[in-house]
Amino acid sequence: MNRDFSAANRIVVKVGTSALTYETGKLNFYRIDRLARDLCDLKNRGKEVLLVSSGAIAAGVNRLHLPQKPDTVSGRQAMACVGQSALMELYNKCFADYGYNAGQFLLTKDVFDNAERKKNFQNTVEEMLKYNVIPVINENDSISIEEIKFGDNDNLSSLVARLVHADLLILLSDIDGVYDKDPRSNADARLIHTVEDLSAEIKCDKSAKPGALGTGGIYTKITACADAARNGIDAVVANSKNMNVIYDILEGKDVGTYFVGDKKNGR
Ligand code: ADP
């Protein structure tokens, strides 16, 4: 299946904690800066970009120089408070180097259950894009309780992509894409290049746990991309370790797993 994303104008990029940190748990400044540069460069090309970013808790742990993340919910929520502002500081610093600004959205699921708040979100995004601001979106981990939690930024990113009528959703993780089985424990796992038939069950172990730093795991990436694709949005899961990943995707190279957007349902 040929990939052609040259016409994709509005792009949502989601980065997982595993894409923003080293295995040591420390922030990967190199990759964060490169991500910021690529997003700003896309803006210069005339694209509209939105970033859904995880990593607040990891950033908080880093900022307070803790050896690991707290094992209580309230401890992690406190880390999210510290880390979210640290992360925004970092994004703003990096974006500013390339002439752009970030604007922050912290969301909970109930925002999308309420028509008025949902509309407000959409209107504010449009305004931010008019001002050339790069919206940076995360779940509001500090106050989220089970009832209002998305639980993972993968599904948050597909919801955002739908609400803003994005053309392309890119999920960046620490893995080359979706494999038919967990590649950590199966040496013969094979990368799935394209998912066209969204009704077909994707053959992979849905219970596979996320990596040490991740939260959603591969299953939430599959459901998020399938949801976007069903709604007409092309979606790609790819590896942020490839520093050119965003450009490779936009050039139509065969990287990651491509969920083909159902054009019948496109905008
Ligand atoms: P992120 O922080 O980017 O959201 P996660 O750790 O939540 O990342 O999910 C990605 C991880 O899921 C990969 O590093 C991989 O080890 C694991 N995984 C389990 N099963 C699969 C599979 N079938 N295909 C790809 N990755 C898988």
Q: Do 233 and 259 touch, CB atoms closer than 8 A? A: no
Give the residue, out of 173, 202, 220, with the most ligand 1 atoms within 8 A of its beta carbon, to mutate for a pocket test: 173
Q: Which two tokens stand for residue 206?
A: 């849905």
Angstrom distance (rounded) from CA 267 to CA 264:
9
CA of 161 to the centre of ligand 1 (A): 21
Query: Strand 257-259 relative to strand 234-239: parallel, antiparallel, unpaired?
Result: antiparallel
CA of 217 to the centre of ligand 1 (A): 5
Measured on CA atoms in the order 177, 225, 47, 250, is the torsion positive or negative?
positive
Q: Kindly state the DSSP code that residue 210 receives in the 8-state scheme.
A: P
Whole-model pTM? 0.94
Q: Do 182 and 203 touch, CB atoms closer than 8 A? A: no
Angstrom distance (rounded) from CA 236 to CA 260:
9
Angstrom distance (rounded) from CA 235 to CA 258:
6
Backbone torsions φ then ψ of 170, nearest 5 degrees: -120, 120
117 lines ligand 1 (CB under 6 A): no
Which SS3 state, helix, strand or coil, does residue 152 take?
coil
Backbone torsions φ then ψ of 49, nearest 5 degrees: -125, 145
Beta partners for residue 104, in sequence order: 136
Mean pLDDT along residues 231-239: 97
Angstrom distance (rounded) from CA 144 to CA 150:
9
Mean pLDDT of the chain: 91
Helix (H) or strand (E) holding 236: strand 234-239
The tens digit of pLDDT for each residue in 252-266 reads 999 999 999 998 876
Question: How far is residue 258 from each of residues 24, 26, 171, measured CA to CA in Å?
Answer: 30, 30, 10
Tell me the three-class secondary structure of 106-145, residue by residue.
Answer: EECHHHHHCHHHHHHHHHHHHHHHHCCCEEEEEECCCCCC
pLDDT of residue 53: 97
Q: Looking up tokens 């990596």, which residue turns up?
A: 211
Mean pLDDT along residues 205-231: 77
Mean pLDDT along residues 225-240: 96
Other Cβ atoms less than 10 A from the Cβ of 115: the count is: 8
The tens digit of pLDDT for each residue in 123-167 reads 999 999 999 999 999 999 888 777 768 878 999 999 999 999 999
Angstrom distance (rounded) from CA 264 to CA 241:
34
Who has greater pLDDT, 8 or 141? 8
204 lines ligand 1 (CB under 6 A): yes
CA of 205 to the centre of ligand 1 (A): 11
Q: Whose CA is nearest to atom 19 of ligand 1?
A: 182
178 lines ligand 1 (CB under 6 A): yes
Q: Whose CA is nearest to atom 20 of ligand 1?
A: 182
pLDDT of residue 188: 94
